[in-house]
Amino acid sequence: MNPLGLQLLQALKTHGAREIFGIPGDFILPLFKQIEESGILSLVTLSHEPSLGFAADAAARMHCGLGVVAVTYGAGALNVVNAVAGAYAERSPLVVLAGCPGEVEAHSGLVLHHQVRHVDSQWRIFREITCDQVRLSDPATAPADLARVLRSCREYSQPVLIEVPRDMTLHPMAEVPVLPPSPFNAAAVAECADEWMARIQAARRPVLVVDVEVRRFGLEARVAELARRLQLPVLTTFMGRGLLAEDAGHAGVPFHGTYLGVAGAPETSALLDDSDLPVMLGAILSDSNFGVSAQRMDFRRALIAAHREARVGHHLYQDIPLAALVEALLARAPAAGSQALRTLPPRPPTPTAWWPTTPLCAPPT
């Protein structure tokens, strides 16, 4: 068996990581030595922890894989909190490797340098901004725990915390397995897809709204095909801008641009504001995306699939992967070139008096 630190690095690479952005510090120095000597993943060092976090987040978004940041205990980890919180809110798969005290020093009775209120304060803080966590304090259970955490990072496309005690990196550990996708109820997916298609067929002014999860899970081509078959007007959210655009190679998609509410073109915003059935795939229901609507949006009239859930009015289907739902909808949609599922009625004229001319600003993605 290889040392724990090397098995951790190999597991990160196997799960899609390409590099590590890090700054060394005493609690994580043993792992940094393994990173540098092994060459399993390239190491990019920067001068300040926040820049590490944002760089790792950007890398994850660019190559649709895991971004990795490595920092020391306390002073290093707490300095990337803002970047990790942003990745959590915007569904970016970021792995935080944080050093922490070994078993003996953690229970020495002394307050450790970089310790805040409690020796576990770092862990407690990161539980708020990560979807899963593990402390590698037991080499016997670490492979299974690491496999679970890395799968969570990929399936939820959100940050995870891996704490590496200073005294554990050289302990022998078994290889970390790559777990299969989490099981889900195929019957629930089929029932949800049936209900969605019935609502779409009955709607008078449906519109397809796509957002960041479509990109995070590599579904852009499949969603483009669904849009072509359904022939619904397609909008992206502000956070999902750039998805399904013509210049991305998605010819035939009835794409109408990015929804910007009162800050956007009236005819574009009206597609969503006046819709009786927004069909939202991978949408984050945030103020950046929908807070600029001309009126308060009632999401109960929408079909929403995001964060492994799907909603139909007041119905909630839990543990529904977005990819599984998209495939089920494609199986029920008309084949390419056949008669469309429905014919849209003429759209009523859009009142223009509602739209102010002062643009609104929103933060960049």
pLDDT of residue 296: 73
- SS3 of 1, please? coil
pLDDT of residue 1: 86
Q: Which parts of the chain fold into alpha helices (H)?
A: 4-14, 29-38, 49-63, 81-89, 103-106, 121-127, 142-156, 186-202, 212-216, 220-230, 266-273, 287-290, 322-332
pLDDT of residue 321: 96
pLDDT of residue 216: 94
Please determine, looking at this structure, whether the domain spanning 186-332 carries the CATH number 3.30.450.40.
no
- How many CA within 13 A on the CB side of residue 238? 22
Intervals of CATH 3.40.50.1220 along the chain: 186-332
One-letter identity of residue 147: A
pLDDT of residue 104: 55
pTM of the model: 0.85
Separation of alpha carbons 73 and 96, rounded Å: 11
pLDDT of residue 337: 59
pLDDT of residue 343: 47
Kindly list the averaged pLDDT for each block of 10 residues, start to end, along the chain of length 365: 96 97 93 96 95 96 94 91 96 96 64 66 94 96 98 97 95 96 95 96 96 94 94 93 71 88 90 94 89 75 94 92 97 75 43 28 38
Strands 67-71 and 42-45: unpaired
Neighbours of 90 (CB within 10 A): 18
- φ, ψ (nearest 5 deg) of residue 34: -70, -35
pLDDT of residue 357: 27
- SS3 of 209, please? strand
pLDDT of residue 348: 38
Intervals of CATH 3.40.50.970 along the chain: 2-173
2-173: CATH, from 2.60.40.10, 3.30.450.60, 1.10.3210.10, 3.40.50.970: 3.40.50.970
Q: What is the CA radius of gyration of the chain?
A: 23
pLDDT of residue 108: 58
**Cβ atoms of residues 55 and 65 within 8 Å:** no
139-151 b/e (C-beta count within 10 Å ≥ 16 → b)? beebbebbbbbbb
Instruction: Indicate if the alpha-carbon torsion angle 283, 289, 291, 294 is positive or negative.
Output: negative
